[in-house]
Chains A and B, each alone.
Chain A
């Protein structure tokens, strides 16, 4: 059982999660469109899942301790959220700045705002991305 759980965890490492997609207006009448893209990410960590892995991978008293830890972590992290908790909540702050570096004219159209993540067990890369077209 525990080896199956660990195998599933290994197989699902590197999975992609998609939370939100928003497509903005597209103007193709102003000139040539050049695709630009900005991705910002921060490490996310699911402590509850880490404790669950510990429980599955251990036996006896240790497994019981991991189970209790998992339950406590689940209770104190309860509530609505998107993705895993991150260590810096301002990691997406400079998105617009980077976008303007990619498109100095600032004439952007077809903006797609994407919230996604790459997950590997309890650890994830929580990503905020913007793809757009720069009018040149």
Chain B
């Protein structure tokens, strides 16, 4: 009985992903919105203990590469945490509109 309870507790804890949104920002949205692009960068941590925030840079480099020579506007940036005890995933999700020419 006790073993079943422990197994169930472990499964419930491991399979539950609790998301919390830390910050959101949006830049000026352009009239031309046909080409939507998105970039995500994430960092996995044990118990939320992180030693660097450099993963943020990956998102902007990805956005840049998806719109080489153009303009990315209307960028919605979300910074969120997803918790799968004991792992905490920190994630930056950026979505914008690429306009070339």
Do A and B come together as binding partners?
yes
Q: Chain A residues with Cβ under 8 A from B63's Cβ? A: 23, 26
Cα–Cα, bound, A10→B68 (Å):
45
Q: Chain A residues with Cβ under 8 A from B83's Cβ? A: none
Stretch at the interface among A42-50, A100-108, A110-118: A110-118
Q: Chain A residues with Cβ under 8 A from B25's Cβ? A: 21-23
Smallest CB gap from A30: residue in B:
B71
Q: Chain B residues with Cβ under 8 A from A23's Cβ? A: 25, 27, 59-60, 63, 75, 77, 94
Would you call B75 and A16 a contact (CB within 8 A)? no
Query: How many B residues, CB 8 Å from partner?
Result: 32
Q: Which of B53, B77, B94 contacts A16 (CB 8 A)?
A: B53
Interface assignment of A25: CB less than 8 Å from any CB of chain B = yes
Smallest CB gap from B77: residue in A:
A23
Query: How many A residues, CB 8 Å from partner?
Result: 23
Would you call A114 and B53 a contact (CB within 8 A)? yes
Would you call A24 and B92 a contact (CB within 8 A)? no
Would you call A25 and B73 a contact (CB within 8 A)? yes
Question: Whole-angstrom distance from the CB of A48 to the nearest CB of chain B?
Answer: 19
Over the window 11-24 of chain A, the binary record of Cβ atoms lying under 8 Å from chain B Cβ atoms (1 yes, 0 no) is 11011111111111
Cα–Cα, bound, A23→B25 (Å):
8
Q: Chain A residues with Cβ under 8 A from B28's Cβ? A: 25
